[in-house]
Structure 1
Amino acid sequence: MKIKTLEQAHKFVLKVKVCLIFGSKKSTLPSLWDMVDLPGRQPGQKGWGRKVEAIWAWKNELPAQFPSEIFYGKLPGGLAVLMCTQYLREEHYPQHHKPVSDCGPLARRAYELIRRESRTTAELRRELSTLGGVSKSRIDTALVELQVTLNIVRSNAPGLKTDTWLPFFEQHPEFLSDD
């Protein structure tokens, strides 16, 4: 199956249940990258090329257009994935959800800010960097920790151009009964 459209990508994710966005030597999971049959950046072309642009857009569009079917998140190690919500419910969530209290101090602080009001990555970096000695890298690591432990999720609101974070349960209240 070679993928050229959002609809084909949708069918692929539902078929494989979980896939990486881009391939990785750290994982044996299938990747959307390996299945997409669109041209890469051509010599002299500006931007990323159609393949990267499509995949980058689909990672947000699939969960936004099919929120009851597809979830975007992170695996341990920070690998970005798309998965069907059935897999999320039956396999991934029970194995990977951890309470915020089990996360590091910076992740807990980031969560408190997000819990009060959804924030973009840039807003979180700005607010958390005022703590002193907190680098962009440490903030990004804290955000990945919160995604891996299923405490925050990227908002599926249509039309968002930047990553906007909100508590996992706000977007997926059906999991509240599991905690």
Structure 2
Amino acid sequence: MTTELKTAEQRARRWWVCGRRVGSVDRAGKFVHDVGFALLFPAPKPIGPSLWEAVADEDDEPFGDGMGENESKVWGWKDELPRQGLAWYGAFLGGRGTFLSPALLAALYPGDGELDDHERLELSPAAHELAAALAVEPLSSATLRALLGDKNKYQRAIGELQKNLLVTTAGVEEQSNGWPAALLTLTCEQFDVGGGTDHREVARQYLDTMLDAAPVDLARAFRWPTAKARELFDELVDDGEAITEDGRRYQPI
């Protein structure tokens, strides 16, 4: 068996692709807690586990036959998991819809856990405007788009806030026409965050979930310099929590 195939099989077990399917929001929360981070739907290149793969059968493709039962489950849970405080959700890993466990979120969160955290980050005026509005109360995506008056401007601004982990979903708000709109709130209002990052713990969780990774993989995942990612992996090696044969790829112990 090749190393790549062995890693793929190990990841299938680690990422809940094998075994009992996730069928409830509570179990979905346990899945995110276990893996630390997960995409909503799988990416073409496996950059991490996905909730879809933990819910559907191994050979199922998302939206292969439209919006089916499994698609409806995971689509609804992207709003329900944050609402219940079980997982953060937003566009994060590779700009894709991503869940983070509360513990990993706290280790990554860049602010003090205050309503004005956005003021200390370099964001666009539109992103600051949205964050200030959300500091007053949770608002629907439809309301926030109307506030900026431009759909593309809204998408860029909310993307900035999610990339910096400042905003998450918190349920939905029914609309008079069409689909319900996502209800958005500041992360610090929904989760216990602030008071310091722990990037070593992030690196440990990343390696524990990926099972095999290069520093550049960690760097890309969290938008860190590759040198920092390598330093964190080497700290894990020094502390007996990881191994490497050539300094290029690392595995957890």
Q: Give the share of equivalent positions with the same residue, in percent.
A: 27
Task: Tell me the SS of whatever aligns to 1:19.
Answer: strand
How far off is 1:110 after superposition? 1.7
Structure 2 residue aligned with 1:71: 88
Q: TM-score, normalised by structure 1?
A: 0.75
| Residues in 1 aligned to 2:145 and 2:56: alpha-carbon distance in whole angstroms | 36
| Residues in 2 aligned to 1:93 and 1:27: alpha-carbon distance in whole angstroms | 24
How far off is 1:16 after superposition? 1.1
Aligned 8 A contact 2:39 2:50 in 1: yes
How far off is 1:164 after superposition? 1.6
Task: Tell me the SS of whatever aligns to 2:184.
Answer: strand
Structure 2 residue aligned with 1:5: 23
Structure 2 residue 98 is the aligned partner of structure 1 residue 81? yes
Pick from 146, 163, 179: which aligns with 1:126? 146
In the alignment of these two chains, the number of paired residues is: 166
Q: TM-score, normalised by structure 2?
A: 0.55
Q: Which runs of 5+ in 2 are unaligned?
A: 1-18, 198-253
Task: Tell me the SS of whatever aligns to 1:155.
Answer: strand
Structure 2 residue aligned with 1:139: 154
Deviation string 1:110-148 (CA, Å, 9 cap, x unpaired) is: 22222233221111111211xxxxx31221111111111
Q: Which runs of 5+ in 1 are unaligned?
A: 130-134
Question: Which protein shows a greater Rg?
Answer: 2
Structure 2 residue 86 is the aligned partner of structure 1 residue 93? no
Amino acid at match of 2:159: V
Pick from 30, 33, 36: which aligns with 2:52? 33
| Residues in 2 aligned to 1:112 and 1:157: alpha-carbon distance in whole angstroms | 20
How far off is 1:178 after superposition? 4.0
**Poorly superposed stretches of 4+, deviation over 4 Å:** 38-43, 156-161
Pick from 155, 163, 171: which aligns with 2:170? 155
